[in-house]
């Protein structure tokens, strides 16, 4: 994996309760946490990390249940895979590395973790960039036939264990290719080394279960947490940049800016000329938006 992140150092950090979070760290400057989505790992950032590292101390981490991170068994209410729990992992990682306050750039599932991290710990997050999602509560509430067909995995992965786990474990490499290859750009955007890494990690013991538990939590306990925020009129405090692919499902089925303005104090954003996997499909377009946004109001 170091070949995708030359010059970066690998860390394995104890985040509490036996959870170990791996990350690659490189660069200099203000700290920036990068979080990946499903069914991937921190390898998604390999095309943008070198440029980001010219401006920031970049920390690209794996989420609990993914990559080489710990993969505990799910509990009855899926709480140990809630976005609150996964956010606490990442906060512990950053604190261990000496970063009390930092920016976050996150995609897909990682963006849902980042949403919860900024909501639960507003003092820790300076600026927030979320890629190709609308808020979880909004997406479930507004599910249509078109969305359900396109995001079939949302409804497959939440089925009771062990059915989806068994099907994924039968051929994890094929699962990765099917899920990622069915998106608008197919498999063409992915570096073979990164694709091999996604496949390696999903074949690890417990990986299919961790992935499913992430989604089971999103369809249950995460909605409780999100609804509590809505009921209390709690808003995301850090400035938020929302970006999404104009060829993707989020663009087709939702109005991301409208939805983020319901839950955040300060929001800007737009669609980029790509599909779902923005950091791998359109790295230059992503950097052109992210760098100026994160440069605003930089602390000395």
Residue 183: CB atoms within 10 A of its CB come to 18
Catalytic residue among 103, 108, 214, 222: 108
The answer to whether 108 touches 36, Cβ cutoff 8 Å, is yes
Residue 198 token pair: 């996604």
Pairwise CA distance, residues 47 & 183, whole Å: 19
Is there a catalytic annotation at residue 276? yes
Alpha helices per DSSP H over the chain: 49-52, 83-96, 109-120, 136-141, 145-150, 152-156, 163-170, 172-181, 192-202, 207-218, 221-231, 249-253, 256-263, 278-281, 283-295
Pairwise CA distance, residues 172 & 204, whole Å: 9
Is there a catalytic annotation at residue 209? no
DSSP state at residue 72 = P
Catalytic positions are: 108, 276
């Amino acid at each position: 994996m170091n070949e995708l992140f030359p010059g970066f150092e690998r860390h394995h950090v104890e985040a509490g309760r036996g959870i170990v979070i791996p990350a690659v760290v490189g660069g200099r400057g203000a700290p920036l946490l990068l979080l990946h989505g499903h069914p991937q790992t921190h390898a998604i950032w390999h095309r943008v990390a070198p440029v980001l590292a010219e401006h920031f101390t970049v920390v690209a981490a794996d989420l609990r249940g993914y990559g080489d991170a710990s993969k505990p068994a799910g509990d009855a209410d899926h709480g140990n895979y809630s976005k609150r729990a996964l956010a606490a992992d990442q906060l512990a990682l950053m604190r261990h590395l000496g970063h009390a306050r930092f920016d976050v750039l996150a995609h897909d599932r990682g963006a849902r973790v980042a949403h919860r991290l900024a909501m639960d710990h507003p003092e820790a997050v300076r600026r927030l960039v979320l890629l190709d999602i609308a808020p979880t509560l909004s997406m479930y509430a507004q599910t249509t036939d078109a969305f359900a067909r396109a995001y079939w995995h949302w409804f497959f992965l939440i089925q009771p264990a062990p059915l989806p786990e068994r099907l994924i474990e039968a051929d994890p490499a094929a699962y990765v290719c099917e899920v990622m290859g069915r998106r608008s750009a197919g498999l063409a955007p992915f570096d073979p080394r990164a694709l091999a890494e996604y496949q390696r990690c999903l074949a690890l013991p417990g990986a299919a279960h961790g992935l499913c538990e992430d989604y089971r939590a999103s369809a249950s306990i995460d909605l409780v947490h999100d609804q509590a925020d809505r009921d209390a009129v709690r808003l995301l405090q850090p400035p938020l940049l929302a970006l999404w692919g104009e060829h993707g499902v989020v663009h087709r089925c939702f109005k991301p800016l409208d939805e983020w303005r319901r839950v955040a104090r300060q929001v800007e954003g737009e669609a980029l000329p790509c599909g779902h996997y923005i950091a791998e499909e359109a790295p230059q377009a992503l950097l052109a938006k992210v760098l100026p946004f994160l440069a605003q109001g930089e602390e000395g």
